Structure 1
C-alpha cells in the first residue's frame, strides 16, 4: 500500500473547516444517556455499535454494550455475551467487521482473580454470533495497553501507558499469526503530553488522537488532533478546532465511513451558567438522568466540518 496521499486527500486534511457546526448527540436516550459512556466503534455498514458504559465513579467497573440499527432506530443496548464480569474498555472493530479488539483486566491464567493492568484481547464475530475472547499475543507488555485501532493490512495501533504515567502510541505490524514488536510513533505524535486514545484510518492516511499538548482549547483536559501520513512520515498534527474541542475536552474518537461522521466522547458540565429560572424538582431530576449531566456522552459531527476527508476521498 502506497503511503503517498492523493492531492484531493491532502487538500481535505490541510483545509480549515468552513464552519464549526454544533455536534449532535449520538442516539440520545439510547446510547448516549445519563450514564457514563465512552469508547465506541461501528461495524463497517454503520448498523452495529459497540461502546463502553461505566459505573458512576468511572474507574471501578466498565463493560461492553451493543446496539443495532433496526426499523429506523437504535435498539436498547445489551451487554455483550463475553463482557459484564471484568473491566472491559475501548472496543475497536477491524475494517471488515469480523474481529473486535478491546482492553481488559480479565484473568490470563487460573491463578489470577483479575489481571493487574489492562491488556489487549480480541474476539471473532460471525453470522452465528460472538466467539471466545483471546489474548492478543504480541500486543501486550508489562505496561498498560488500552485503545487499539486496526489498519486494513492488519497493523494494530496501541495506546500504551508506562509505569511513569506517560501515554504513547505504538504501531505493531502483523507477524505470523500475531504481531511484531511495537514501533513507537515519532515525537511529532508522541509529544509527552498524554498522547493516545486514537483512531487510525484503515489505509493509514491519517491518525486522529487526543493530547494535552500546548495550545489546546481544553488546557485542563484533552483536545483531538489529526496527523496525516505522507511518504511514510507523520506530519505535524492539526487541532480539530472548536467544532469538537471545547473547554471540557474530547476523547475516544472514531471515524464512521458509512455515516460520514466523526464520533467521540465528551463530558459536558451539568451547568456552565445559572438557569434563567429556578429548576423544579422534576426538572432537576430529569436533568440528572439525561445526557449532558457531567457524565460521558457521544457526539457526532460531519467529517467535512472538521476538515477530514469524506468517505471515498
Structure 2
C-alpha cells in the first residue's frame, strides 16, 4: 500500500514538474509573479538568488536566456547563464567565454545580436596593467555566442565597469575617467554614453549632465530599449555603505532631473545593477536586503537563513518596468 502511494506521489510530482514548465510561447513567465506590477520580488529563490552574491542580470528579448554574475570580492566575478531548451530551463552554468578573468555586467542587446559585458581581460599580449573594458560576443548562426571582441571606443585610460544598450545601439556605461589614481577608483564613477552612428561607427564618449551625474557616485546605468528611460544607482542621499535606484526620463531631447524610486523598490539596503529586459517589460536590480531571523530557531531554519537567499549577500529582484513612471512626478509613460 505504501509503495502504491509513493508511486502515485512520484507521478504527481513529475506531472507538476512538466506542467509547471510548459512556457514555450513565453519561457520567462516561469520566473515572474503576476503581482509584480508595482512592487519588487526576488528572482527565482534557490535557483538564481541564493546565499552567494548574484549581481547584474539580463534577459534576452526572446525570453529564453538569462545571464547574471556570481561575485566574490572586488576582483572575482564570473558570468553564468541559464537557457530554455526542450521545454525546460537548464541549471546555471558558467558562460563559455567567462571564468578566467573578472567579468561583469552581461547584457543581451535588444536586437538579440550581441551579449555585451565588461572585463579586465588583457587587450593584447603586452597589456601588463589590464583595466576594465567593454566587450561583446556576436551571436553565431547556431544561436550560441562567438568569441569576445573589444568595443573600439573602450578607453585604456580608465575603467568602464557596466554596460547597457538601447535598440538603436547607443551604449550607456559607468566609468572612472576622472579618477586620480592608476587603478580602479569606484568613488570616481559617473555615467557616460556613446551614440551609434548611421555608418555603424561610434561617436565620441559623452558624459551625461548634472540632471544625472553629481559629485556622488553614479553607477550601473540601465537604458530602456526605446532609449527614453534611464535607471541607475547612486549614493547621493546615503552613506557610503548604501545606495538607491534613481530614474531620469528623456523629454524633448533632454534628460530630466533624476528622481529616487519609491520604497516599493528601494530599501535601507544597497540597491544597484538595474537592467531592463530585452523586451522592455521588466526591470531587474540587485539588493543585499536581509530577511528577518526565523522565529523558530532550530538548526535547520538557522542554516537556511544564514546560507540561503536573503542572508545579506546580493540577490536579484524584478519589477514591472511600467511601474517606474508611476513613482515619479513626470507625466509620461513607457509606451
Q: Same fold (TM over 0.5)?
A: yes
**Largest Rg, 1 or 2:** 2
Residue from 304, 310, 325 that aligns with 1:286: 304
Q: Which residue of 2 aligns with 1:189?
A: 212
Q: Which residue of 2 aligns with 1:53?
A: 70
Residue from 173, 185, 196 that aligns with 2:195: 173
Of structures 1 and 2, the one scoring higher in RCO (CA 8 A, sep 6+) is 1
Is the 1:139–1:181 Cα contact (8 Å) retained in structure 2?
no
TM-score by length of 2: 0.78
Q: Of Structure 1 and Structure 2, which has the larger fraction of its residues in helix?
A: 2
CA distance in 2, matches of 1:66, 1:121: 17
Counterparts of residues 1-313 of structure 1 (less than 5 Å): 22-55=39-72, 58-70=73-85, 74-112=89-127, 115-128=129-142, 129-162=144-177, 163-164=179-180, 165-175=187-197, 176-214=199-237, 220-256=241-277, 258=279, 260-269=281-290, 271=292, 275-277=294-296, 279-307=297-325, 313=335
CA gap 1:63/1:122 in 2 versus in 1, 3 angstroms: same
Q: CA RMSD in A?
A: 2.4
Is the 1:39–1:51 Cα contact (8 Å) retained in structure 2?
yes
Flag structure 2 segments of 5+ consecutive residues without an equivalent: 1-35, 181-186, 327-331
How many residue pairs get aligned? The number is: 286
Is the 2:110–2:279 Cα contact (8 Å) retained in structure 1?
no
CA distance in 1, matches of 2:325, 2:240: 22
- Provide the secondary structure at the position in 2 that maps to 1:288: helix
Q: Of Structure 1 and Structure 2, which has the larger fraction of its residues in strand?
A: 1
CA distance in 2, matches of 1:70, 1:288: 33
TM-score by length of 1: 0.83
Flag structure 1 segments of 5+ consecutive residues without an equivalent: 1-18
Q: Tell me the alpha carbon deviations over residues 222-264 of structure 1, each in whole angstroms, 9 at most, x when there is no partner.
A: 1111111111100011211101100002111112264832211
CA distance in 2, matches of 1:305, 1:150: 21
CA distance in 2, matches of 1:82, 1:171: 25
